[in-house]
Amino acid sequence: MFAPVVALAGALVYGSADFLGGLAARRLRSIVVTAVAAATGLVLLVVAYPAIGGDWIPADIGWGILSGFTGAIAIVLLYACLAIGPMSILSPLTAVVSAVAPILWGLLIEGETLSGIGYAGLGVALVAVVLVGFIPGEKAVRPSLRGLLFAVGAGLAIGAFLIVIDRTSAESGLVPLIVNRSVSTVLTSAVVGILALAAVRGGRRASSVFAAAGARLGATPTGHADLEHADETPSPPPRAAAARAWWLAAGCGALDATANVAMVFALRLGDLAIVSALTAMYPAGTILLASVVLRERIAGVQWLGLGLALAAGAMLALA
């Protein structure tokens, strides 16, 4: 019963991290925000390690490395599909696939079983994922085949992250997450370094690569999609805005690392199918925070999704 509560709370924190990442990406490149967030999350996990602990088991270290690469693949595919659009279709599709893949893995491969109310709760949860992830106000456009493939690929990569982390042992504690963040930090920092080197060779300053360019898709270290709330906020003076963006990116990393810890504990306490279904409701945290901070109106369909999310959580807690 405790695992669904932890998973749902973690989903809200994931959504909050995506919200901060989206705001940071107004001023900084998404890859820069992702690199800062990954490094910040790594520092937080290392600081928390003495208190929580974990054994450095070779197999779990390997799973942690693999999860770092699946996360990187998810980010690339996610940004690609959101750049193609439409986000109103591709973002919920990514979230649903990211839930369905681990659900099927848990039920069919790992042999997890649920009660009747549990299976009903999974169905309600998937409907809630679609409704909560809906982006109101965007013009309906039929998605291209390439956009659909990228969205499905991003969802599968996110689902693979959950499956891989679920394979780690309880004795490993925070070790898989520390390894995961180490891989993410190295990969994203390397990309930023390559961009900076190319800028210098092109006669520009290395710091010129930090500024946001192109579509402002947000920054999601876990591969999650944020809503484009950032474009609704007033712009502060450039120097203050830049400093604020770095702090927002760090905050994104801290929240995301916290959500990862909650997700790991939920997986250790409960079933992969249940945890993945509830974790996919992360857009709830984004839209709720946007409502409080930016005074954005929550659409009726999203309120329905939030209500179904709570109902699904209660049903899965009784499963």
Tell me the pLDDT tens digit for each residue of 118-164.
Answer: 899 899 988 988 887 776 665 556 778 888 898 899 889 989 999 99
pLDDT score of 233: 43
pLDDT score of 292: 81
Q: Please enumerate in sequence order all residues whose Cβ is within 8 A of that of 261, keeping only pairs 6 or more positions apart, or say none.
A: 45, 48, 52, 174, 177
Given a contact cutoff of 8 angstroms between Cβ atoms, the answer to whether 27 and 245 are in contact is yes
Q: How is residue 106 annotated by DSSP?
A: I
* pLDDT tens digits for range 87-127: 667 777 888 888 899 999 999 898 888 888 889 989 998 89
Across 142-175, b (16+ Cβ under 10 Å) vs e yields: ebeeebbebbbbbbbbbbbbbbbbbbbeeebbbb
Cα gap 98→94, rounded to integer Å: 6
Beta bridge partners of 28: 211
Integer-rounded Cα Rg, in Å, for the chain is 19
**Predicted confidence pLDDT, tens digits, the chain (319 residues):** 688 889 989 989 988 888 888 788 778 887 888 889 999 999 999 999 999 999 999 999 999 999 999 988 887 787 777 667 676 677 778 888 888 999 999 998 988 888 888 899 899 988 988 887 776 665 556 778 888 898 899 889 989 999 999 999 999 999 999 999 999 999 989 989 998 999 898 888 888 888 766 554 444 444 444 444 444 444 444 667 778 889 999 999 999 999 999 999 999 988 999 999 988 888 788 788 878 887 777 778 888 988 888 888 888 877 6
